[in-house]
Structure 1
Amino acid sequence: MATNVFGNPVTDETVRLVSPNITQITARDRARVALQYMNAEEKATNVSRFVHNLKEAYGTGTSTLGMIYNATGGNLTFDLNHTWEGAVWHSPYAQIIQNGQWAGFLHVRDRLIGPSKEAIVYRGVNNDGAGRDWMLAWNTSRMNYQNRVYAEIRTPGEFGSANWNAIDSKMDSQTNNYSTTALGGFASASIGAGSSPEFVGIMSLDDLGSNFMAMASDVSVVSQSLDSKYVDDVDGADEEPPAE
C-alpha cells in the first residue's frame, strides 16, 4: 500500500460480514459498506494526521490539506491533474485508491501571494460497469478570500480535452461545498476557510439510498471543522516556501 493511502479495502468479503444473507453483491453494496466504514480502524483519523504532518513539514504559506475517499465499489485509478496554480508537495497523488480507502496530499502555492488551485481526475466504473471519470477541484486563496470547490463526473477521457477555463468559471460561482450526481456516479467536495484549510472529496455512486447519500456528503468523520488551523497569513508569517 502506498504511504499516502489509508485503510483496508472494502471487498465482497467485507459486505458479507455486514450482510451475511446477501446473495448477489453489486458495486452499490460495496459502496454502501465503504461509506459505513469511513473511519474503520481509524483510517480517516490516520489520513488527517498524515496531511497535517505534511503541512507542518512544509511550513507557512497557502496550501490545501487534501483528503479523498473512494466509495465507488471498485478501484479508482489516477488519470490526470490540471494545474491552475501551485503543485502537490512531497507526496504525489495516489495512483490507485481501492474501495473504502482514503488518500491524502498537500497542495501548495507556487508564488508568494498565489492560490493553491488544482483539479484531479480519477477513473473507475459505475454500478453497471461503465467507465466513469470523477473530477474534484479546489481553489484555496490567501488571506480572507472565499475558498471554492467544484466536481464533475464524465465518461472516460473527456477531461483530457476539457475546457478548463469553463470549469474554472463554474468553480468561481461556487463556495465551500458542492456535490453532483451524474452518469451513475456521485461526487462531493468540501473545503474550509483560511489559507491552509482541509479539503475533503468523496467519490461514490448514485441511488444508494438517502441515508447513504447523506454519508457521502458528511465530512465530520474526518474533521469537525475544515477551517485552517495554521497562521499563514499574518504579517511576517507568510514567507517563501521551503525548498524541495
Structure 2
Amino acid sequence: MGNPVTRIDRARVALNMKNAGNKYVNTKENVFSLARGRAQYNVATICLIYNATGDTITLRRHFHKWGKFESSSYPRNIPNGQWAAFLYGEASWPDRPAFLHGESYWARPIGPESETAVLYRGKNEAGQECDWLFAWSSPCKAYTEIKEVYYFKNRWNEIGDKLDNSDLTKQDEWNGCLSYASIESTDEFPVFEAILTLKNA
C-alpha cells in the first residue's frame, strides 16, 4: 500500500508546482487585466499569495493603516497548491483613516499610498498551528514574520515599524515554517508576492 502521504509531501508537491500549467502567469495576468480596467480607482498594489504548506490556510486578521480594496476582500481560505490574487488601492490624504476592528485614527500625511497587513493561519510539519504575517506598502516595501497563534494580536504598531524599516524582499523561518515576501515596481502597478511553505518541503 506504500507510505501515507504526509503534510511535507503535499507541501513539496505544491512548491514544485507553483508555476505549473502557467497558473502563476495566468493568475498574474488576470489580476493585471482587472487592475487596468479599474485604473481610475487608483489601484496601488497587485497582490498574489501562494500556499505551499500542505493544508488549506485561513485568514485570521487584517489591518489597514490606509488604503482600500479595489476588488474582492482578502481570500478567506487558500487551498494548498493555489495562488490567491486581489487588488489593493491607495487612499489620498486626508480621507484615509486607519482602522482595526472599529478603532479609527488618522494616518500621517505623506502622500497617496497604501499600507496593510494580513495574517493567515496554517500548520507546521507536526500539525501545530502557526500564524504567517505578510505586510506591504506602496511605495515598495515588504515584510513577513511567522509566530505562534495570537502572537500578533496587539502588535500592529510594531509591525508597522518593521515594515517601515524593511526593503523589497523579506523572508522568515520559525518552528519549521517558511515565508517569503517581495514587492516590485512595474511600468503599471507595484506587485506584492508572498509564499507560505514548510522548511523541509
- Whether TM exceeds 0.5 here: the answer is yes
Greater Cα offset, 55-64 or 170-179? 55-64
Matched, 1:182 2:174: yes
CA RMSD for the aligned pairs?
1.8
In the alignment, which of 26, 29, 32 is matched to residue 9 of structure 2? 29
Per-residue deviation at 1:22?
5.8
Q: Structure 2: which amino acid aligns with 1:197?
A: P
Count of residues in Structure 1 that have an aligned counterpart in Structure 2: 182
1:140-176 per-residue CA deviation (whole Å, 9 max, x = no partner) reads 12xxxxx1110011222222x2321111111111110
The TM-score with structure 2 as length reference comes to: 0.84
Give 1:196's match in structure 2, choosing from 179, 189, 192: 189
More strand by share: 2
Distance in 2 of aligned mates of 1:50 and 1:139: 22
Q: Which runs of 5+ in 2 are unaligned?
A: 94-110
Structure-2 residue corresponding to 1:15: none
Q: Supply the AA of the counterpart residue of 1:73.
A: G
Mapped to 2, the partners of 1:68 and 1:24 lie a distance apart of 28
Match of 2:28 in 1: 48
Greater shift in the superposed pair: 22-31 or 75-84: 22-31
Counterpart of 1:75 (choices 48, 56, 65) is 56
Q: Which residue does the alignment assign to 1:107?
A: 88
C-alpha distance in structure 1 between counterparts of 2:54 and 2:37, whole Å: 34
1:74 aligned counterpart, secondary structure: coil
Question: What does residue 118 of structure 2 align with?
Answer: 120
Q: d(CA) in 1 for partners of 2:147 and 2:88?
A: 24
| CA distance in structure 2 between the aligned counterparts of 1:95 and 1:50, rounded to whole angstroms | 19
Percent identity reads 34
Contact 2:35 / 2:43 at 8 angstroms: preserved in 1?
no
State the alpha-carbon separation in 2 of the partners of residues 204 and 164 from structure 1.
23
**C-alpha displacement at 1:40, in angstroms?**
2.1
**Aligned: 1:38 with 2:25:** no
Paired position in structure 2 for 1:229: none
1:62–1:114 CA contact under 8 A, matched in 2: no
| SS of residue paired to 2:37 | helix
C-alpha displacement of 1:55: 1.0
Q: How does 1:3-18 map to 2 (within 5 A)?
A: none
1:134 partnered with 2:132? yes
Q: Distance in 1 between the 2:172 and 2:39 partners? A: 34
TM-score by length of 1: 0.70
Query: Relative to 1, partners in 2 of residues 1:22 and 1:43: Cα closer, same or farther, differing over 3 Å?
Result: farther
On the 8 A contact 2:43/2:70 being kept in 1, the answer is no
**Structure 1 gap ranges (5+):** 1-20, 142-146, 209-244
